[in-house]
């Protein structure tokens, strides 16, 4: 034993004798994780969050969250002697007079966009592969909480500089608050400490942005990861992979190295973007005053769909008992997002109710094998994309030489027509892919080799696929439709007949599948019935 090893051993022993960490580490460092690129989307979100914490801390050293009026006297000439809030002036100071300040601001903002983008990509992966099923419903709920908080946190963050663009966003947020029937005006008054814009809103959202919400994020992310650790990671189906095992690599050394390296890559790409691409150039926007606005005022993309919904809603208002109900803001700003996010949160429970599937799942679904869920996902995505596109309708109009009115009407019609269409098309594609799988298992792979038979007929040679691939294509359990049980064992009619009937119908739709290839069929074909 060398000198170094003796010292290291001594330190390790010292720690172990006091904490008992050796046994715990020994067990947990060997923990196995399955390997797939799509499992790294959540990692991107986690690393972006770390970048956000670090760069955000840097920004707080100079940012002054105050709406008190100051006269700018910094290095940016086009705003010299302009009256502005201290928040805006300090953001200019960070951008132009703090060493590395603009780079940090841009890294912070790019990391925020990457954070939201990777959360959404991660959410889509979890949804389309059915990773939210039992026992992971709670983690799905936490995930929905995280994406919701992410939208709020992002909005509060880009509102802090008090520039013309973000002030416009705050104005719209105030309008949405006011649209809440009856109490809306009061809530807006409480939030802004009086009439808009007031002097308290920026300090308040600053506290939320740097203290409360990051704290909530840390707590939720910790639980999110602990649950992944405790429940173990899901894996894609394949030979040797069952509901009872995890096939992959140990944390130490494989994932320690991979995760560490990947963190470096995420940080690198964020820093690269921050260094070469301008983001949120607040000095061009100018300071916020309620009397000004810029053409093409858009929020960041994760709010863009909301903006698009508001932009497409027709001017509907009701005056009722001395109250104005602004449906044009209430529906797109609160009701539709409320339905969407509640539906998303409840989806694991709804699916389990419809399919009657109460089993534990650790093997992921291939999206084609669950046509209804995949179609529903495509439908929601289409809804979001139509809204998002309408959120940028003015830029699309100018850059593609179109009429903004036509784009709005396309969106108004498309928001109702395209999502159901996407559902039907996706479901058909899934069923076709299932048939293609069946074909592949039973008839093998097309080799592209054409052979002329002695009597002149041309045939393409098919090659059987590997047993591993055949297993992957056939191992899944196809859902069965739940019957509509109308009476119990004694012939007494069950209550809730309508609910049961509805469930039975949805269950039947959910169970619509192309018949999977079975072993018998495969054997029969091998026996020369080709």
Partner 1 sequence: MSPISRVSKYRRHKFAGPVLVVAALLTIGSAFSIASALPSANKMTAAATTTQIAEGKKIFAAGCSSCHGLNAEGSGVAPSLIGVGAASVDFQVGTGRMPMADMSQQAQRKRPVYNAEQTAALAAYVASLAPGPSTVDGANLNYERDGNTAQGGELFRTNCAMCHNFAAQGGALTQGKYAPTLMGVEPKYIYEAMITGPQSMPIFSDKTITPAEKLSIIKWIKAAQNEPALGGATTGRVGPVTEGLLAWLLGLGSLIGIAVWLATKAR
Of 36 and 204, CB closest to partner 1: 36
User: Is residue 151 near partner 1 by the rule CB under 8 A?
Assistant: no
Comparison of 284 and 335: residue with beta carbon closer to partner 1: 284
- Judged by CB under 8 A, which of 150, 348, 392, 414 binds partner 1? 392
Point out which span in 111-119, 133-141, 192-200, 460-468 binds partner 1 (CB under 8 A).
Answer: 111-119
Would you give the binding string for partner 1 spanning residues 162-181, x where CB under 8 A is met?
--xx----------------
When asked if residue 279 is in the footprint of partner 1 (CB under 8 A), the reply is yes
Site membership for partner 1, residue 91 (CB under 8 A): no
| By CB under 8 A, residue 106 contacts partner 1 | yes
Question: Which residue, 150 or 392, is less far from partner 1 as judged by CB?
Answer: 392
Q: Residue 61 or residue 249: which is nearer to partner 1 going by CB?
A: 249
Site for partner 1 contains 152 (CB under 8 A) = no
**Shortest Cβ distance from residue 363 to partner 1 (Å)?**
18
- The residue within the footprint of partner 1, chosen from 21, 256, 316, 402 (CB under 8 A), is 402
Per CB under 8 A, the segment of 7-15, 86-94, 262-270, 334-342 that binds partner 1 is: 262-270
Tokens of residue 358, six digits: 């109460």
Q: Residue 521: is the preceding peptide bond cis (ω within 30°)?
A: no
Q: How far is the CB of 345 from partner 1 (least distance, A)?
A: 24
Secondary element (H or E) of residue 156: helix 137-159
Nearer to partner 1, 274 or 348 (CB): 274
CB of 96 to partner 1, least distance (A): 8
Three-class DSSP labels, 453-511:
CCCCCEEEEEECCCHHHHHHHHCCCCCCCCCCCCECCCCCECCCHHHHHHHHHHHHHHC
Minimal distance, residue 278 CB to partner 1, in Å: 3
Nearer to partner 1 by Cβ, of 385 and 516: the residue is 385
Which of 502, 500, 153, 142 is closest to 344 using CA atoms? 142
Number of chain positions touching partner 1 (CB under 8 A): 74
CB of 55 to partner 1, least distance (A): 15
Decide if 205 contacts 67 (C-beta within 8 A): no
Output the DSSP codes for 364-433: PPPGGGSHHHHHHHHHHHHHHHHHHHHHTHHHHHHHTT--HHHHHHHHHHHHHHHHHHHHHHHHHHHHHH
Burial 348-360 (b: 16+ CB within 10 A, else e): beebbebbbbeee
**Interaction of residue 66 with partner 1, rule CB under 8 A:** no
Closer to partner 1 by Cβ: residue 130 or 274: 274
How many whole angstroms separate alpha carbon 422 and alpha carbon 376?
8
Contact 133, 348 (CB under 8 A): yes
Burial class (CB in 10 A: 0-12, 13-18, 19+), 295: exposed
Cα of first residue to Cα of last residue in the chain, in angstroms, is: 68
Q: Which of 26, 28, 57, 278 binds partner 1 (CB under 8 A)?
A: 278
Task: Please report how close the Cβ of residue 391 comes to partner 1 at its closest, in angstroms.
Answer: 8
What is the pattern of x (binds partner 1, CB under 8 A) and - over residues 411-440? ------------------------------
Are 155 and 299 contacting, i.e. CB atoms less than 8 angstroms apart? yes
Give the Cα separation of 259 and 262 in Å (integer): 5
CA distance 422 to 381: 9
Q: Does the protein bind partner 1 through residue 466 (CB under 8 A)?
A: no
Give the separation between CA 530 and CA 350, rounded to whole angstroms. 43
Per-residue binding string, partner 1, 285-324, x by CB under 8 A, is xx----xxxxxxxxxxx--x--------------------
Among 18, 319, 358, 401, binds partner 1 (CB under 8 A): 401
Q: Which is nearer to partner 1, 401 or 455 (CB)?
A: 401
Residues 221-250, mask of contacts with partner 1 (x by CB under 8 A): ----------------------------x-
Binding residue (CB under 8 A) for partner 1 from 277, 450, 452, 498: 277
Cα–Cα distances in angstroms (integers) from residue 177 to residues 161, 188, 279, in the given order: 21, 6, 28
Q: Which is nearer to partner 1, 190 or 409 (CB)?
A: 409
Q: Which of 196, 262, 263, 471 binds partner 1 (CB under 8 A)?
A: 262
The answer to whether 296 and 167 are in contact (CB under 8 A) is no
Contact between 79 and partner 1 per CB under 8 A:
yes
- Minimum distance between the CB of residue 44 and partner 1, rounded to whole angstroms? 5
Burial of 188 (0-12, 13-18, 19+ CB in 10 A): buried
What whole-number distance in Å separates Cα of residue 16 and Cα of residue 18?
5
144 vs 131: CA distance, rounded Å: 14
Q: Look up residue 399 and give its DSSP letter.
A: H
Q: Are 174 and 180 in contact (CB under 8 A)?
A: no
Told to check if 102 binds partner 1 by CB under 8 A, we report yes
| Closest residue by Cα to residue 516 from 369, 373, 374 | 369
Q: Is the C-alpha dihedral spanning 239, 27, 37, 113 positive or negative?
A: positive
Provide, rounded to whole angstroms, the least separation between the CB of residue 302 and partner 1.
8
With CB under 8 A as the contact rule, the residue among 50, 254, 331, 381 that binds partner 1 is: 254
Sites for partner 1 among residues 42-61 (CB under 8 A): 44
Interface residue with partner 1 among 81, 453, 490, 496 (CB under 8 A) is 81
CA distance 401 to 219: 48
CB of 154 vs partner 1, minimal distance in Å: 11
């Amino acid at each position: 034993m060398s000198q170094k090893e003796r010292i290291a051993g001594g330190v390790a022993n010292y720690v172990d004798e006091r904490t008992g960490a050796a046994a715990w580490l020994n067990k947990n460092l060997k923990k196995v994780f399955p390997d797939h690129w799509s499992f790294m989307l959540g990692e991107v979100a986690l690393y972006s969050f770390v970048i956000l914490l670090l760069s955000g801390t840097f920004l707080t050293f100079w940012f002054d969250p105050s709406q008190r009026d100051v006269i700018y006297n910094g290095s940016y000439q086009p705003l010299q002697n302009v009256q502005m809030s201290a928040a805006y002036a300090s953001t200019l100071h960070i951008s132009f007079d703090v060493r590395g300040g603009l780079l940090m601001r841009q890294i912070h903002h790019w990391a925020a966009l990457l954070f939201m983008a990777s959360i959404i990509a991660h959410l889509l992966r979890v949804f389309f592969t059915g990773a939210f099923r039992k026992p992971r419903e709670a983690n799905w709920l936490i995930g929905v909480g995280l994406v919701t908080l992410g939208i709020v946190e992002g909005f509060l963050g880009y509102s802090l500089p008090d520039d013309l663009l973000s002030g416009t966003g705050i104005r719209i947020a105030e309008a949405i608050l006011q649209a809440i029937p009856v109490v809306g005006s009061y809530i807006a008054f409480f939030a802004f400490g009086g009439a808009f814009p007031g002097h308290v809103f920026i300090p308040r959202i600053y506290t939320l942005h740097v203290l409360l919400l990051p704290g909530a994020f840390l707590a939720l992310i910790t639980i999110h990861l602990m649950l992944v650790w405790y429940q173990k990671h899901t894996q894609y189906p394949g030979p040797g992979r069952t509901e009872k095992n995890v096939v992959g690599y140990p944390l130490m050394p494989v994932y320690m190295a991979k995760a560490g390296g990947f963190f470096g890559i995420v940080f690198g790409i964020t820093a690269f973007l921050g260094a070469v691409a301008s983001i949120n150039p607040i000095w061009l926007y100018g300071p916020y005053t309620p009397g000004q606005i810029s053409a093409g005022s858009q929020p960041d993309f994760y709010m863009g769909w909301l903006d698009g919904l508001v932009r497409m809603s027709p001017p509907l208002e009701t005056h009722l008992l001395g109250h104005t109900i602004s449906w044009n803001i209430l529906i797109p700003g609160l009701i539709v997002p409320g339905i969407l996010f509640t539906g998303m949160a409840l989806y694991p429970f709804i699916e389990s109710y419809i399919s009657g599937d109460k089993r534990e799942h650790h093997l992921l679904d291939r999206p084609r094998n669950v046509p209804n869920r995949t179609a529903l996902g495509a439908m929601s995505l289409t809804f979001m994309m139509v809204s998002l596109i309408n959120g940028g309708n003015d830029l699309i109009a100018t850059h593609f030489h179109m009429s903004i009115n036509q784009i709005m009407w396309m969106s108004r019609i498309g928001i109702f027509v395209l999502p159901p269409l996407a559902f039907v098309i996706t479901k058909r594609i899934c069923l076709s892919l299932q048939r293609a799988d069946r074909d592949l298992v039973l008839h093998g792979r097309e080799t592209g080799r054409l052979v002329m038979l002695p009597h002149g007929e041309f045939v393409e040679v098919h090659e059987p696929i590997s047993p591993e691939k055949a297993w992957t294509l056939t191992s899944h359990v196809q859902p069965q439709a739940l019957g509509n049980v109308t009476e119990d064992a004694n012939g007494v009619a069950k209550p809730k007949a309508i609910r049961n009937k509805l469930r039975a119908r949805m269950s039947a739709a959910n169970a619509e599948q192309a018949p999977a290839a079975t072993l018998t069929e495969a054997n029969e074909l091998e026996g020369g019935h080709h």
